[in-house]
Structure 1
Amino acid sequence: MILRTHLLNNALIADIQLKEANLANAEQFKSELMSLINKGNKYVIVNFEQVIYVDSSFLGALVSALKLAMNNRGDIAVVGLNNDIRSLFQLVRLDKVFRIYTNTQEALTGA
């Protein structure tokens, strides 16, 4: 399992259990996240706190999951990005697509 999940205040928190989020695990990540969305979870907070490296295939999987969530009237927020990953999100303009928060509590309050 790539994601460890728990419910908190009507949101599903999905903690990524990887140091390197890359092509080798992108498909499994996508499958797990889409399964959680298909089970009716409307607001998913994906926590990158443990992740030190992300590649484009993993980001593509995240975008695919967001499309599914939006089609189901849901949303995905992202938390716990380190400076390098945050810069990558900005470089590929995903900061315009995802709501990015510093931590889970901030995402829950919509700060």
Structure 2
Amino acid sequence: MEMVATQEASGILLIRIDEEHLDAGNVKAFKEAIAPLLERSDRIVFDMSQLKFVDSSGLGALIACLRQTHKGKGDFKLCEMPRPVCALFELMRMHRVFSIHDTREDALRAFA
């Protein structure tokens, strides 16, 4: 699972997954790759710009990330979500659970 993690000057960890799908086929690799990243920071922005498809397994993995971050008194924000993925989040009412932002800059500013 390819991910790019960048620590912003403000201490916020920006993570971008370089995959088109987050689904049952790669969710185990996603969980293994993201676990050490979640331990690095309590403020995380997850850039979803490369994703074209997320299934229920992928959604469950993102919920697990959110729970782990909240458990450590941190916050986890999503940004740059493509329209098909956004439609799934709205259909599943996950837009009420996650803090979703149109741009990376908006998500970073939301921590201020």
Tell me the TM-score normalized by structure 1.
Answer: 0.91
Cα displacement (A) at 1:38: 2.1
1:75-106 deviation digits (Å, cap 9, x = unpaired): 11001111111111111111111100011111
Q: Which ranges of 4 or more aligned residues in structure 1 deviate by more than 3 Å?
A: none
Query: Whole-Å Cα distance in 2 between the matches of residues 15 and 37 of structure 1?
Result: 13
1:50-83 deviation digits (Å, cap 9, x = unpaired): 1111111011001011111111111110011111
* Amino acid corresponding to residue 110 of structure 1 in structure 2: A
Cα displacement (A) at 1:32: 2.1
Cα displacement (A) at 1:34: 2.4
Residue 23 of structure 1: SS of its match in structure 2? Answer: coil
* Amino acid corresponding to residue 83 of structure 1 in structure 2: R
Cα displacement (A) at 1:2: 2.7
Query: Whole-Å Cα distance in 2 between the matches of residues 98 and 23 of structure 1?
Result: 21
Q: 1:34 aligns to what?
A: 35
Q: 2:44 aligns to what?
A: 44
Q: 1:2 aligns to what?
A: 2
Query: Whole-Å Cα distance in 2 between the matches of residues 55 and 34 of structure 1?
Result: 20
Matched, 1:60 2:60: yes
| Aligned pairs, number | 110
Q: Is the 8 A contact 1:30 1:62 kept in 2?
A: no
Cα displacement (A) at 1:20: 1.6
Matched, 1:79 2:79: yes
Query: Whole-Å Cα distance in 1 between the matches of residues 61 and 2 of structure 2?
Result: 13
* Amino acid corresponding to residue 3 of structure 1 in structure 2: M
Residue 76 of structure 2: SS of its match in structure 1? Answer: strand
> Structure 1 unaligned runs (5+)?
none
Identity %: 25
> Structure 2 unaligned runs (5+)?
none
Query: Whole-Å Cα distance in 2 between the matches of residues 44 and 15 of structure 1?
Result: 11
